Amino acid sequence: MRQVQNGDQVSVHYHGRLNDGTTFDSSEGREPLKFTVGSGQVIKGFDDAVMLMAEGDKKTVVIACENAYGTRNEDMMIEFPRTEFPAEMKPEVGLELQMSDDQGNIFPVVITEVHEGHVVMDANHPLAGKDLTFELQLVSIH
């Protein structure tokens, strides 16, 4: 039976969980995820996990944060003056916003602290610093 190789387009059903068992994503009730292995369309650990699987194979893998969304980077914590917020906006912990950098790239941030003069926002990916467990089923190799 043919096994997945680098460059193959594959379809995979998956169920992703955190260490505490919380589901963060799943293809359940949807079409399987289609991607080209090794193309950078998915996290490195997911790419690596499907290598050598054959159609119909199932497995569970734990992907270390370094091969998922990376470690948390404290440099991605941004202090922003409250005076820079629109007057009608009330910053609150947990509020998700979008910011842009000097090149116009838009990225999500989450408010983690609100102080009198400034607000602290986290620009890390929400899954940064977390090991991820995936239950995988290779549906097909195209």
pTM above 0.85, yes or no: no
pLDDT for 85-142, tens place per residue?
998 999 999 999 999 888 988 999 999 999 999 999 999 999 999 999 999 999 999 8
Share of the chain above pLDDT 70, in %: 100
Please report the pLDDT score of residue 69 as a whole number.
95
Closest CA to 58 of 141, 135, 140: 135
Cα 121-125-128 angle, rounded to 5 deg: 115
Residues 6+ apart with CB under 8 A from 9: 34, 35, 36, 37, 141, 142
- Taken in order of first residue, the domains within the chain and their CATH numbers are 9-70+127-141 (3.10.50.40), 74-122 (2.40.10.330)
Please report the pLDDT score of residue 102 as a whole number.
87
User: Is the Cβ–Cβ distance between 76 and 70 less than 8 Å?
Assistant: no
Helix ranges (H only) for 6-87 are 44-50
Task: State the residue for tokens 């193309």.
Answer: 39
